[in-house]
Amino acid sequence: MKGLRAFVRENSRNPNAIAYTVMAIGALAFPGIVQFANGGNGDFLVSLAADGGVYVLLAIGLNVVVGFAGLLDLGYAAFFAIGSYTYGMLASAQLISSPIHHAVHIPFWIALLIGMFVAAGAGALLGAPTLRLRGDYLAIVTLGFGEIVPRFFRNMRDWTSGVNGISALDVPTLPFWLTGPWASTQLAIEHNFRFVSFNPTAWYVLIVILIAISVIGVNNLYRSRLGRAWMAVREDETAAAAMGVNTVNTKLLAFAIGASFSGFAGAFYGAKLSLVSPDSFGFIVSITILSMVVLGGMGNIPGAMIGALLLYSVLYYFLPAAPAQAAALAHSLGMDWLNQSSPNGWPGISEFIHRLQFIMFGLILVGIMLLRPQGLLPSRLRAQELKRGVHDESAVVTA
Amino acid sequence: MIGALARMPSTLRTFGSSQVSNLVGLLIVAGALVLTLQHVLQHSASFFFQILIIGIADGTIYGLIALGYTMVYGIIELINFAHGDVFTLGGYFSLALFPIFGIAEGKPGFGYVIPLLIVAAITMLLCGVVNVAIERVAYRPLRHAPRLAPLITAIGMSSILEGAMYLWRGPFSLHYPDLLPLTRFNIGPVNIGVKDLIVIAFAVILVVAFTLFINLSKLGKAMRATAQDRDAAQLMGIDIDRTISATFFIGAALAGAGGITWGLYISSVDPFLGFITGLIAFTAAVFGGIGNIPGAALGGLLIGLIRAFSDSYFDSSWTEVLIFGILIATLVFRPTGLLGMRVPEK
């Protein structure tokens, strides 16, 4: 007990520790709370949260590239696409219609690792010829790569079904699974468990475990020799090289490791949605993930996670719900004429709000950058660097 | 294991040596030319010239847009993602202005020349004002912030402009009136439309006028000085803020003119047209050498030609892959572009 008290006292002023604690408790309590609040009909929200977890994973991965190593990546969704398509081809009947004429059904748990390595390989492949480029040039190359990859998958019709995408992907299976009141059923052990779409709680638990593993892994990397090399390269590449950091391999590893998380996320996303289509990986996805990292605070893992959760809930929960709510509000205020579309161009309030979404997204991006360019939960080390322009030894130790 | 990998001596550095990359680049270009020639010979000569003219017309429009990208990048090292949407805005503004000046489809004639030019002037002015406002609101406060910040506000501004056009005229593609004469005539095997000639002439005149302006006027000199060294320019008494505003204004005016030209040539505009067109024009700017004004015009022309030939001689679904492949290849093999000079990496 004394240990716990000391732990709390030590960390009560550490925003990262608080953020981790709040997120861990929130993640554990979330399914129970929404099921209770919605009278057992909260499956929709749990499923949405599991999808949001994909973005948390992506933000953690992009944070390695952009936040730690300072390599600007505008095409991160390309690796996400590669992860998803890898799983789609290796775990469905898709390859029957391809030139090899055999379906491949690799179990999810193994395909997860394969997706990870394929995405990491793609990251290294992109990184290798572009490493001598700096800053904006690198950003432009990644942007081009991000535009090419989805089009490539769309055009390889024999392998990927083109615009229709790959559907009916295999779901993960486990020998047993514990189910209980958090999924609004009796406490019991299920044998030969399959992750099915009408059981979002299982998907939710899976993604939370994946995120937890990733966070532990990235935290260890951050504190390792490699993590320090990333920071050195980010701050001053020439000085880092002079200090004996192999900048080429360091940057290559940042690209590969960052991409590997999107391989993870891609496999989960494909399995849960049971559909991989080339439209899901456009520029807007790359930008959304980048905005999540920047909003949360670049270079800080819990910051990126919080940014992902906040922006995801705004973009996929509040904004989509807004048109119906506006219509209901207009109705309850007795202004039903707002809901009618009129011939002089007024499309009705719900359609109007729906059309506002691009402006909303833009205003969020601009607003965040103007009001809080360092992010909501900035890395303490980076905050000090930004303030003083130099970093002292104590800052490195405490970070 | 990862630590060991990070300490490993690298053989990748040699990949960047300039002779090797120049040779690889040349081989790629030569291969592409041979492949194109082979396809060209399978079709008739008149088809070739038709595609050539479409490519030139598209290319000059891309060049108009690329100039704005390259100027802004040259002066504040920012990829102005909103630029493509300012181009679309040119189409939308001119569409709204046509009824005011009594311009409508179906009765084209010389009477339209003056009103059309007035509409073009007002549209260019409006686009310029919008772009200057964007710079004031979204880029200027972040001039000393980390590089990522203005890049994200640029993307945000792009989304806002697209959203504004979406809200204004709805999500659908709008018909742009056919105002140019549809007459076509033959010169030998070449079949040319008057419309093509007008579009090409209009764009070329603007590019030439702009180049003269940059090279001869005092403001143009100030822009070149600011692009070269902002601090030194300031010490020489150049008003940096004004010069940057002027750069955004002129770039947007050219993009707005590009929007009108696009509408007249392609006959439709939609709110999201600027995204992909902007990326292609940006590729053109990089291809020609970012920051280099003749380079942007040349890059636009080449990208237009590549696009037209790829669409008609190969498979149009691979055209954009090809163009973005060129973008990557340019930066990998020749980061300074075709005409670019060595720019210090800041």
> pLDDT in tens for each of the 399 residues of chain A?
567 787 777 777 778 888 888 888 888 888 888 878 877 777 888 889 999 999 999 999 999 999 998 888 889 999 999 999 999 888 888 787 777 777 888 888 998 899 999 999 999 988 888 877 777 788 888 999 999 999 999 998 888 888 888 888 888 888 877 777 666 677 777 777 888 777 888 899 899 999 999 999 999 999 999 999 999 988 888 899 899 888 888 999 999 999 999 888 999 999 998 889 988 898 889 989 998 998 888 888 999 999 999 999 988 888 888 888 888 888 888 777 777 777 666 777 777 888 888 899 899 889 988 888 778 888 776 666 555 544 443 333 333
3-state secondary structure of B299: helix
- CB < 8 Å to B163, chain A: 355-362
Asked if the C-beta of A65 comes within 8 angstroms of chain B's C-beta atoms, the answer is no
Q: Can you give the pLDDT at residue A323? A: 82
Report ipTM (2 d.p.).
Answer: 0.84
Say if residues B97 and B122 touch (Cβ distance below 8 Å): yes
Give the pair of three-digit tokens for residue A153. 């998958």
Contacts of B152 in chain A (CB under 8 A): 287, 290-291, 294, 365, 368-369
SS3 B192: strand
Enumerate residues 140 to 179 of chain A having a beta carbon within 8 A of any beta carbon in chain B: 140-141, 143-145, 147-148, 151-152, 154-155
Query: What's residue B209's pLDDT?
Result: 92
**How high is the pLDDT of residue A286?**
93
**How large is the average pLDDT for residues B24-40?**
82
Query: A-chain residues within 8 Å CB-CB of B164?
Result: 359
Question: Is A194 at the interface with chain B, CB within 8 A?
Answer: no
Please report, to the nearest 10 degrees, the dihedral formed by the alpha carbons of residues A259, A260, A265, A270 taken in order: 90
What lies within 8 Å, CB to CB, of B294 at 6+ separation is B211, B288, B339
Q: Please tell me the distance in Å from B88's CA to the nearest CA on chain A.
A: 16
Q: How far from the centroid of its chain's Cα atoms is residue B44's Cα?
A: 31
- Which residue from A253, A352, A360 is facing B5, i.e. has the nearest CB? A253
Residues of B in contact with A386 (CB under 8 A): 146
Q: Which of B166, B315, B324 lies nearest to residue A147, judging by beta carbons?
A: B324
Rounded to whole angstroms, the Cα distance separating A250 from A263 reads 20
* Residue at B49: amino acid letter: F
Q: Is the pLDDT of residue B163 over 70?
A: yes
SS3 for A240-308, per residue? HHHCCCCHHHHHHHHHHHHHHHHHHHHHHHHHHHCEECHHHHCHHHHHHHHHHHHHHCCCCHHHHHHHH
**pLDDT in the model for residue B109:** 67
Tell me, yes or no, if A325 comes closer than 8 A to chain B by beta carbon.
no
- All structural domains of chain B, each given as residue ranges with its CATH number in brackets, are 53-333 (1.10.3470)
Contact at CB, B9 and A154, closer than 8 angstroms: no
Which chain B residues are closer than 8 Å to A72 by Cβ?
A: 147-148, 151
C-alpha span between A149 and A155 (Å, rounded):
10
pLDDT at B147 over 90: no
* pLDDT for res A259: 92
Q: Does B231 touch chain A (CB under 8 A)?
A: no
Distances (CA, A) of B44 to B39, B144, B184, B190: 10, 57, 19, 11
**What pLDDT score was predicted for residue B13?**
40
Which range (A228-232, A320-324, B201-205, B269-273) has the least confidence? A320-324
pLDDT at A384 (0 to 100): 61
Q: What is the pTM of this model?
A: 0.86
Band (B108; pLDDT cuts 50, 70, 90): low
Q: What pLDDT is recorded for position B187?
A: 82
The enclosing H or E element of B268 equals: strand B268-269
Q: Do B6 and A253 touch (CB under 8 A)?
A: yes
Contact A60, A204 (CB under 8 A): no
Query: Looking at the DSSP assignment, which residues form a beta bridge with residue B132?
Result: none
Mutual angle of helices B148-169 and A357-371, in 10-degree steps: 160
- Residue A320 forms contact with B (CB below 8 Å): no
Q: Is B168 an interface residue toward A (CB < 8 Å)?
A: no
Structure tokens at B204: 């070329």
Within 12-71 of B, beta carbons closer than 8 Å to A belong to 12-13, 15-16
Q: Which of B1, B7, B144, B318 to mutate to test the interface with A (most CBs of A within 10 A)?
A: B7
Q: Collect all residues of chain B within an 8 Å Cβ-Cβ radius of residue A225.
A: 3, 6
